[in-house]
């Protein structure tokens, strides 16, 4: 009986000591100061508890004054006044309330800032720049996070520039709360600067000469962290390794840093297969094989095969790259391309939608051999990836034959009989020998809708009959594409291209009955002619239907402006305006315009793009549907 009475008495004693949940209100500070005060207050932490004793609440209310003052000191407020009032609830189901009013008072300001850099590195430009940008000069407000960030930034600069033996001779903040003033002392000894010594490597299947070629740091070169990062990037860009670790081994006595490579060679072969579809091209299939290294010297072979439904076109290409010289990213190259397709020699008036005469259908074959040099240059590392430069000699054999299959229509035969000079264009073979240069400078990040950046391309190409080519021409071409995202839903795409060619143009006046056509044909090989119009160029027009007489032209000028709005996680809506044309006479450009809207769905197999476009300069035609899945043919 006595034991039961004791339990009842104890329970009754403890019951009033349990409080309901707590709510805390803080006034007088905001922003970062408010956040720091809340992070320091035990009362705020108690809000997450279901029950807390009344005794503990009152203790936390007492502690809140010191906690709040401590939380304000990093912001220079050392004499804050804090009032805390704890309000008991009127009903058992209501929370306790803590009301805290803070008057932070005047902040402490800097009286003196004694900042000294000493030692061999005191005149290093990066350390001098740090000193000149010191963020807490006299009479500024003492802000401890800024102070800490400043001295930590100094150590980071010293480490990144090879001053690994640095130390602080003094690092103090002396505060006089009565005067609201503070003195700063920071004396920094840089120590010696380290230099690169060389490298060592664990065994790899590659020659020492190849590893020397991939090593860009030179013995005796002053150490920088950026150079080590560049070294890792060079190893990664080589495509030879699937694991790259570059370790630093420091020798304090000699002041040198040796790099140690731990490299795992990637599997020698990789394969890819992609499928796609487009209203321009029909179904597409691409197969690829890369032999990343054929031997221990790091030579490689990249081959691909593509076929598409439109025009029964197929492409086979291959390129061999052989390391050249002592610099990474420098190769001798040899490549081959074979393309075959059913093509038409068209007889259209570019100012009219319908054909003037039926086209002559034929077979076009192209075989191109290229020999040259590929070099990757790392320019503007903060904005772009490597600049890819190709210098090459191209040997092309190109033929077109409209008579091979003897499928001339009655109109074809009548037109040919009335205009026998047309035969020269229906069975052709050309063998240009051209010198060329190509540049490609990308800066692309992200995937799907969030792909952003820019890419620039340029090409120079020339051939002359005096050096063995059977046609003479000179061509320059530039293209750029820019993607920019605003917020997380808005995207702007701007692209443009321009090409100019000096090549002879032949003019024919074709007549049959009451029909007549002024035909303008460039002597430029079809592989180097410009065409536009279609899914990925000037939408609203048919595939490659924009060029002089629809047979390709010497010049091109085109641009596109597109806005995309992300609606869902992987899909978006777009609106666009395109303009452009390909032409033989630069003074008669007759640019064609197209406008429309579309849908984008970003998938694992590539983007699915659906556009509906209207040709503004051919308004009698209906709206055209453009639909593509995946990437283009090789």
User: What pLDDT digit, counting tens, does each position of 234-263 carry?
Assistant: 999 899 999 999 999 999 999 999 999 999
pLDDT band at 491 (very low <50, low <70, confident <90, very high): very high
381: pLDDT strictly greater than 50: yes
Count CB neighbours of 354 within 10 A. 6
404: pLDDT strictly greater than 90: no
Question: CB under 8 Å to 487, separation ≥6 — which residues?
Answer: none
**pLDDT tens digits along 413-439:** 999 999 999 999 999 999 999 999 999
pLDDT value, residue 6 = 40
Strand stretches in 378-472, DSSP E: 387-401, 427-430, 433-445, 452-463
What is the total residue count of the chain? Answer: 634
* pLDDT over 70, % of the chain: 95
pLDDT value, residue 18 = 53
**pLDDT tens digits along 322-367:** 999 888 889 999 999 999 999 999 988 877 778 889 999 999 999 9
Query: CA 348 to CA 253: how far, in whole Å?
Result: 81
**pLDDT tens digits along 152-165:** 999 999 999 999 99
* pLDDT over 90, % of the chain: 74
Q: Give per-residue burial for 423-434: e unless 16+ CB within 10 Å, then b.
A: eebbebebebbb
pLDDT value, residue 2 = 43
Mean pLDDT of the chain: 91
Mean pLDDT of 535-546: 91
pLDDT value, residue 352 = 77
Domains 109-189 and 269-629 share a fold: no
Q: pTM to 2 decimals?
A: 0.79
The side-by-side arrangement of strands in the sheet containing 167-176 is 109-118, 181-189, 167-176
Query: CA 219 to CA 196: how far, in whole Å?
Result: 5
7: pLDDT strictly greater than 60: no
CATH classification code of 269-629: 2.40.160.50
Mean pLDDT of 513-530: 93
267: pLDDT strictly greater than 50: yes
Mean pLDDT of 202-217: 94
Long-range contact set of residues 47-50: C-beta below 8 Å, sequence gap at least 24: 47/21, 47/22, 47/23, 49/21, 49/22, 50/21
pLDDT value, residue 318 = 97
pLDDT value, residue 174 = 95
pLDDT band at 11 (very low <50, low <70, confident <90, very high): very low
219: pLDDT strictly greater than 60: yes
Domain 109-189 top-level CATH class: alpha beta
171: pLDDT strictly greater than 90: yes
Could you tell me what percentage of the chain is helix, strand and coil, using 3-state DSSP and rounding each to the nearest 5?
Answer: 20, 50, 30
Domain 14-103 CATH (choose: 3.10.20.310, 1.10.10.10, 3.30.830.10, 3.40.50.300): 3.10.20.310
pLDDT value, residue 8 = 36
Query: CA 521 to CA 505: how far, in whole Å?
Result: 6
Element spanning 522, H or E: strand 515-522
23: pLDDT strictly greater than 70: yes
CATH topology of domain 195-265: Ubiquitin-like (UB roll) (3.10.20)
Domain edges within the chain: 14-103, 109-189, 195-265, 269-629
pLDDT value, residue 384 = 65
Question: CB under 8 Å to 295, separation ≥6 — which residues?
Answer: none
Residues 281 and 306 sit within 8 Å (Cβ to Cβ)? no
């Amino acid at each position: 009986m006595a034991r039961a009475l004791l339990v009842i008495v104890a329970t009754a004693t403890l019951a009033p000591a349990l409080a309901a949940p707590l709510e805390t209100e803080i006034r007088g500070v905001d922003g970062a100061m408010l956040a720091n005060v809340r992070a320091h207050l035990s009362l705020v932490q108690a809000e997450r508890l279901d029950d807390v004793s009344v005794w503990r609440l009152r203790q936390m209310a007492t502690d809140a004054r010191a906690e709040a003052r401590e939380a304000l000191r990093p912001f220079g407020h050392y004499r804050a006044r804090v009032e805390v009032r704890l309000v008991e609830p009127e009903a058992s189901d209501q929370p306790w309330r803590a009301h805290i009013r803070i008057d932070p008072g005047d902040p402490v300001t800097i009286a003196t800032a004694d900042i000294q850099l000493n030692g061999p590195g005191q005149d290093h430009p990066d350390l001098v720049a740090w000193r000149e940008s010191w963020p807490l000069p006299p009479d500024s407000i003492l802000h401890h996070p800024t102070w800490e960030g400043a001295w930590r930034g100094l150590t980071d600069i010293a480490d990144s520039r090879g001053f690994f033996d640095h130390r602080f001779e003094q690092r103090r903040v002396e505060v006089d709360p009565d005067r609201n003033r503070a003195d700063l002392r920071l004396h920094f000894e840089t120590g010696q600067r380290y230099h690169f010594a060389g490298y060592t490597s664990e065994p790899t299947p590659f020659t020492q000469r190849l590893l020397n070629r991939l090593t860009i740091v030179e013995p005796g070169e002053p150490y920088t962290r950026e150079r080590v990062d560049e070294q890792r990037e060079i190893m990664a860009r080589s495509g030879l390794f699937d694991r790259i670790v570059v370790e630093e081994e420091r020798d304090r006595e000699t002041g040198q840093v040796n790099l140690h490579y731990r490299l795992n060679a990637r599997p020698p072969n990789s394969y890819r297969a992609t499928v796609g579809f487009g209203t321009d091209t029909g179904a597409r299939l691409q197969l690829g094989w890369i032999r990343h290294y054929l031997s221990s010297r790091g030579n490689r072979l990249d081959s691909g095969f593509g076929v598409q439904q439109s025009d029964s076109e197929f492409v086979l290409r291959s390129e061999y790259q052989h390391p050249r010289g002592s610099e990474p990213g420098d190769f001798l190259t040899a490549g081959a391309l074979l393309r075959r397709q059913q093509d038409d020699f068209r007889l259209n008036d570019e100012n009219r939608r319908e054909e003037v005469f039926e086209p002559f259908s034929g077979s076009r074959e192209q075989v191109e051999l290229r020999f040259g040099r590929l070099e990757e240059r790392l320019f503007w590392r903060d904005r772009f990836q490597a600049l890819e430069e190709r210098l090459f000699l191209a040997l092309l054999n190109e033929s077109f034959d409209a008579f091979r299959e003897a499928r001339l229509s009655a109109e074809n035969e009548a037109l040919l009989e009335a205009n026998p000079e047309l035969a020269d264009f229906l069975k052709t073979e050309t063998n240009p020998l051209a010198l060329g240069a190509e540049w490609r400078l990308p800066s692309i990040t992200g995937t799907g809708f969030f792909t952003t950046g820019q890419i620039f391309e340029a090409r120079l190409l020339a051939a002359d009959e005096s050096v063995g080519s059977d046609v003479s021409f000179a061509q320059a071409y530039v293209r750029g594409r820019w993607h920019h995202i605003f917020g997380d839903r808005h995207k702007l795409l701007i692209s443009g291209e321009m090409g100019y060619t000096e090549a002879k143009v032949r003019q024919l006046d074709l007549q049959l009955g009451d029909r007549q056509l002024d035909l303008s044909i460039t002597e430029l090989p079809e592989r180097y002619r410009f065409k536009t119009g279609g899914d990925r160029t000037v939408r609203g027009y048919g595939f490659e239907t924009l060029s002089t007489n629809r047979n390709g032209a010497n010049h091109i000028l085109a641009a596109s402006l597109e806005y995309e709005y992300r609606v869902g996680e992987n899909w978006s809506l777009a609106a666009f305006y395109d303009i452009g044309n390909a032409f033989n006479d630069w003074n008669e450009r007759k640019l064609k315009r197209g406008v429309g809207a579309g849908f984008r769905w970003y998938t694992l197999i590539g983007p699915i793009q659906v556009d509906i476009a209207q040709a503004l300069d051919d308004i009698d035609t209906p709206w055209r549907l453009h639909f593509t899945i995946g990437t283009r043919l090789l």
